Amino acid sequence: MRVHPPSPTLQRVAFLGEPAFEPHVPLQATWAQVRFFPVTAGQWEAAIDAARTWGADATLVFRPQDVTPEFAARLPGAMRIGIIPSPLFSAAEIELLSRTSGPDVEGFRWLTYLEKPTSPELSRLPLLQTLPLPVDTARCATGPRLDSRRVLVADWASPTPEALEALRKVAPVDILSAHATPDEVTRTLEQAGTLVYTSRDLMGRFDPLPLLAMAHGLLVIADTVFASDWYVEPEDEFLYRPDSHWARAMDEVLRMPVSFRAVRIRAWQKMREAFDASACFQRVLHDAHLFADPVAHLASLTSSRPSPPVASVTVEPPRVAEAAPESLGAEKVTRPSRSLAAVPN
Amino acid sequence: MKIGFLVGDIANISGGSNVILEYASRLQDLGHEVVLVTPGPVTLTYPLWHPRLADIPRRSLAEAEGESFDFALATWWITFYDLWRVNARVYGYLNQSLESRFHAERHYKLLNRQTYSLPLLFVTEAKWLVEFIQTLQPEGKTLYVQNGLSREHFPCVQAPPRRDGKLRVLVEGPWGVGFKGVPETFEVLELAAEQGVQFETGWLASSSGGEKPTVGGQPVQVHERIPINQVHQVYGQYDVLLKLSRVEGMFGPPLEMFSQGGTAITYTVTGTDEYMVHGQNSLLVEPYNRRQIVQFLQLLSTQPAYLAHLRTNALATAKAFTDWDSSTRQVASGLEALHAEGWTNAHLRPALAAMSTMHGHWLDDVWRGERGHSSLHPYVGPGEQVLLERYRQFKKSRPVRALQKLVSDDFKKSVRARLTRVLS
């Protein structure tokens, strides 16, 4: 997704949250300087001070329900948004958010929620938009490692012992520990070709691992699906199989790789199309400014109007995975310098 | 050069067929011999949906088998399996989408993926397809050329038409094709109307399928089976195109809307990256963020200056966009370069024939199976199959059939719906 610059005054955007949220923050963006300030052991004050010292113009906070009104008032920047990344059940947390968010509150101007709010109390919060936890897909730009045969199983989402045993007879299986650090999770994902995953809930609501795996180009085989309005397409972007069929599914994947490489590539692409952290947070900030004051937003655009995107023809563009997100309003395609329009790979 | 396009249903209007005809007719204008190779004889219906359709020679596959082509290009994925039937120096694939996504059936999805398994010449229109093809089939050759915007059928207006009154929203697409999302679009509009957004609605469709939708209790103006050279007149009557399709190649309709000074609201569907920029010329929404569309409609209906900003930039995008002549010259250059260097992949013909044979046998088995007793989910086990077969026999038994005759269809429907709800 390409997004118009959120606001010309937006130079520095701070992200605050527990270290586990770090893979969900862009390492870099072309639309602003971005930086993640980890909150360890619930110590918000140090992270907020660091973000203030850095001079953030806007702040996005993961789990805003953990922030007291006093700390919410101290968040830096003219635009402060709370990202609620997993379902909220606690009445006390919702009540706190009602006090720390809204247009007339010294705290969060807006909140985002991962799905359609399910209670009237949640609906009354100043929700800007629906936003499942996105992934910094720029870290996975090399594309799927299609030759990897290793299977990854998370110990918190593993199948029955019988199904796991059957799987081990087909392919090498690595177990991902619930205690793995974000770096260890990333390294493990970089080694694997397939994630098999079991859950009693829809994928992605409580656990970002399936989305992370798809962003790394893994084939996801699961006994559950994503929320229907995410449009992550079964059979085209992941495989939906009961765990008693996982060994058979893996056997097919190994014997008929062409049929399933396409699934891995599409999963990798889908994450960038709809779940890329840079694009998602850019659009959050854009829409936050737009809806907060449409007239002021429009006035800010007239002073910094980018040129319209134009069509172009290019010859065998490099593998489209780009290390950095596209620049704002300017398409990264090149006009050909010669008429020859087909060259060998 | 002699170029054959293997096509499916070319006699009826579709975006994919339009792309084929634009290339075919313009390559012909450049002096190349172009043939549309059809599965069987084609009867054209007048008036033609595309003015150039009758100008291009057509031959059935059976007739084309005796001919030699410099380039034979599959188009719709099914035609890949017919490539081997023509003799060609270069076998290629004008690939406009990942058509696996058009089908719910697993066997079609799997067969579709095999169409990328040989190192053909791939001509394609969108960067996401280039990436997909090059990652999946790195040995193939890939030629990326964006589709043009037809200056004949979609001449850009000078400026966005000035309009007073309510926001005018256009829905585009056929009703019955699931991934086009037309029923879903009307649901969103209904929600917007319930929330008090003021707008009027039109619907442009190749086929309405007999549907007569209403929004907010008001009938929707239907524009059906409009010849392609008149479609711009429909676009010109509206401010914003609302299109919630879930699969697109290069995504032409918003660009056509842009040419008439309108903007668009769409999902972040494949193809949007080609020319759409959220907040500059259009508004993009991730599918999970569908509720935002109502807010956007509210915004556009109450903030005419912001609507004008989007429309102005949309028109500028369309004016700057490439046209079909340029796109065709690029394709021609690519093909001519390959021709000049003597590049060929004719050796793939036996492999194409073998794949076609397997494809045919497998589909025959699938269809035979579906006609027989096992139109079941692939993961229904043997025990469940026996139970289901017993249930079928029970339903066919004389007493049950006699009982069924005594019960009204409405009651049966109601019971069936209730059971489905309870059991699913």
Confirm or reject contact between A8 and chain B (CB < 8 A).
no
Cβ–Cβ < 8 Å for B256, B172: no
Q: Convert the pLDDT of each residue in A83-108 to its tens digit.
A: 999 999 999 999 999 999 999 999 99
Q: Convert the pLDDT of each residue in B23-57 to its tens digit.
A: 999 999 999 999 999 998 888 888 888 889 999 99
Q: Compute the distance between CA of residue B97 and CA of residue B19 in angstroms, rounded to an integer.
A: 12
Say if residue A72 is in the same domain as residue A199: no
Whether residue A112 lies inside any domain: the answer is yes
Confirm or reject contact between A344 and chain B (CB < 8 A).
yes
Number of DSSP helices (H) and strands (E) in chain A, helices first: 11, 11
How many CB atoms neighbour CB A332 within 10 A?
17
Q: Convert the pLDDT of each residue in A279-325 to its tens digit.
A: 999 999 999 999 999 999 999 887 655 555 544 433 343 343 333 33
**Cβ <8 Å between B268 and A273:** yes
- Which pLDDT does position A308 carry in this prediction? 54
Query: Which chain B residues are Cβ-neighbours of A308 within 8 angstroms?
Result: 280-281, 313, 316-317, 320
Tokens 């919410």 sit on residue:
A72
Confirm or reject contact between B263 and chain A (CB < 8 A).
no
Say if residue A61 is in the same domain as residue A152: no
How many CB atoms neighbour CB A212 within 10 A?
26
- Among the residue ranges B30-39, B74-83, B123-132, B380-389, the one predicted with the least confidence is B380-389
Whether residue A335 lies inside any domain: the answer is no
Q: Compute the distance between CA of residue B173 and CA of residue B182 in angstroms, rounded to an integer.
A: 6
- Which pLDDT does position A89 carry in this prediction? 92
Whether residue A314 lies inside any domain: the answer is no
Q: Compute the distance between CA of residue A239 and CA of residue A217 in angstroms, rounded to an integer.
A: 14
Q: Compute the distance between CA of residue B145 and CA of residue B423 in angstroms, rounded to an integer.
A: 50
Whether residue A302 lies inside any domain: the answer is no
| Amino acid, res. A228 | S
Return the half-sphere exposure (C-beta side, CA atoms, 13 A cut-off) of residue B367.
7
Say if residue A113 is in the same domain as residue A31: yes
- Which pLDDT does position A159 carry in this prediction? 87
Whether residue A341 lies inside any domain: the answer is no
Mean pLDDT, chain B, whole residue set: 91
B282 beta partners: B278
Confirm or reject contact between B145 and chain A (CB < 8 A).
yes
- Which pLDDT does position A302 carry in this prediction? 72
Query: What is the domain count for chain A?
Result: 2
Residue B417 token pair: 């719906």
- Which pLDDT does position B409 carry in this prediction? 77
Confirm or reject contact between B280 and chain A (CB < 8 A).
yes
Q: Convert the pLDDT of each residue in B285-339 to its tens digit.
A: 999 999 899 999 999 999 999 999 999 999 999 999 999 999 999 999 999 999 9
CA A9 to chain CA centroid, Å, is: 25
Residue A236 sits in a domain whose CATH number is 3.40.50.2000
Helix (H) or strand (E) holding A285: helix A277-292
Angle at A200 between CA A195 and CA A204, to 5 degrees: 55
Q: Convert the pLDDT of each residue in B249-272 to its tens digit.
A: 999 999 999 999 999 999 999 999
Confirm or reject contact between B379 and chain A (CB < 8 A).
yes
Say if residue A27 is in the same domain as residue A130: yes
- Which pLDDT does position A142 carry in this prediction? 79
Say if residue A108 is in the same domain as residue A176: no
- Which pLDDT does position A328 carry in this prediction? 29
Ordered domains of chain B (ranges, CATH)? 2-148+324-365 (3.40.50.2000), 167-320 (3.40.50.2000), 374-423 (no CATH)
Q: In a 3-state reduction of DSSP, which class is residue B254? A: helix
Q: Convert the pLDDT of each residue in B364-406 to its tens digit.
A: 887 777 766 554 454 455 455 556 666 766 777 778 878 877 8
Structural domain containing residue A209: 137-274
Cβ–Cβ < 8 Å for B279, A286: yes
What dihedral angle (degrees, nearest 10) is formed by the CA atoms of A189, A192, A194, A199?
-40
Tokens 């289901």 sit on residue:
B388
Say whether pLDDT at B350 is over 50: yes
Residue A327 token pair: 């620049």
CA A217 to chain CA centroid, Å, is: 14
Instruction: Give the mean model confidence (pLDDT) for residues A65-75.
Output: 97
Query: Which chain A residues are Cβ-neighbours of B144 within 8 angstroms?
Result: 313-317
pTM: 0.85
Q: Which of A273, A307, A334 to probe the B interface (max B CBs under 10 A)?
A: A273
Tokens 């409405």 sit on residue:
B410
Cβ–Cβ < 8 Å for A201, A124: no
Closest by alpha carbon to B240, among B193, B304, B174? Answer: B304
DSSP assigned state of A309: P
Confirm or reject contact between B246 and chain A (CB < 8 A).
yes
Closest by alpha carbon to A128, among A142, A144, A114? Answer: A114
Say if residue A73 is in the same domain as residue A190: no
Say whether pLDDT at B93 is over 80: yes
Whether residue A316 lies inside any domain: the answer is no
Confirm or reject contact between B175 and chain A (CB < 8 A).
no
Whether residue A156 lies inside any domain: the answer is yes
Say whether pLDDT at A333 is over 50: no
Angle at A136 between CA B313 and CA A237, to 5 degrees: 85
Which backbone phi and psi does B175 adopt, to 5 degrees? Answer: -70, -45
Return the half-sphere exposure (C-beta side, CA atoms, 13 A cut-off) of residue A305.
12
Residue B372 token pair: 């027989």
Of the partner residues B98, B278, B288, the one whose CB lies closest to the CB of residue A266? B98
Query: Which chain B residues are Cβ-neighbours of A321 within 8 angstroms?
Result: 131
Of the partner residues A242, A319, A341, the one whose CB lies closest to the CB of residue B145? A341
Q: Which chain B residue lies closest to A6 (C-alpha atoms)? A: B279
Strand A12-17 with A33-38, pairing: parallel
Say if residue A82 is in the same domain as residue A119: yes
Q: Which chain A residue lies closest to B317 (C-alpha atoms)? A: A308
Which backbone phi and psi does A113 adopt, to 5 degrees? Answer: -130, 145
Residue B303 token pair: 């903030």
Say if residue A141 is in the same domain as residue A100: no
Say whether pLDDT at A66 is over 90: yes
**Cβ <8 Å between A274 and B128:** no
Closest by alpha carbon to A287, among A148, A126, A107, A155? Answer: A126
DSSP assigned state of A63: S
Cβ–Cβ < 8 Å for B147, B321: no
Q: Which of A3, A4, A246, A263 to probe the B interface (max B CBs under 10 A)?
A: A4
| Amino acid, res. B246 | R
**Cβ <8 Å between B275 and A333:** no
Query: Which chain A residues are Cβ-neighbours of B100 within 8 angstroms?
Result: 236, 262
Where would I find the H helices in A32-158? 44-54, 69-74, 91-100, 120-123
Q: Compute the distance between CA of residue A311 and CA of residue A307 in angstroms, rounded to an integer.
A: 12
**Cβ <8 Å between B292 and A280:** no
- Which pLDDT does position A23 carry in this prediction? 93
Residue A103 sits in a domain whose CATH number is 3.40.50
Domain stops at, among A274, A307, A333:
A274
Treating both helix axes as pointing N-terminal to C-terminal, what angle do A246-255 and A257-274 enclose, rounded to 10 degrees? 100
Instruction: Give the mean model confidence (pLDDT) for residues B197-226.
Output: 93
Which residues between 61 and 100 in chain B have a beta carbon less than 8 angstroms from any beta carbon of chain A?
98, 100
Whether residue A304 lies inside any domain: the answer is no
Q: Which chain B residue lies closest to A130 (C-alpha atoms)? A: B289
- Which pLDDT does position B386 carry in this prediction? 59
- Which pLDDT does position A28 carry in this prediction? 93
Number of DSSP helices (H) and strands (E) in chain B, helices first: 14, 15
Query: Which chain A residues are Cβ-neighbours of B327 within 8 angstroms?
Result: 313
Q: Convert the pLDDT of each residue in A228-280 to its tens digit.
A: 889 999 999 999 998 889 999 999 999 988 889 999 999 999 999 999 999 99
Confirm or reject contact between A255 and chain B (CB < 8 A).
no
Cβ–Cβ < 8 Å for A6, A286: yes
Say if residue A293 is in the same domain as residue A239: no
A102 beta partners: none
Using 50, 70 and 90 to split pLDDT, how confident is the model at A336? very low
Residue B73 token pair: 């290009």
Say if residue A35 is in the same domain as residue A99: yes
Q: Which chain B residue lies closest to A305 (C-alpha atoms)? A: B280
ipTM of the complex: 0.85
Helix (H) or strand (E) holding B330: helix B324-340
Say if residue A117 is in the same domain as residue A159: no
Tokens 């394709």 sit on residue:
B331
Q: How far is CA B364 from CA B62, B109, B352, in A?
A: 21, 16, 18
Say if residue A161 is in the same domain as residue A77: no
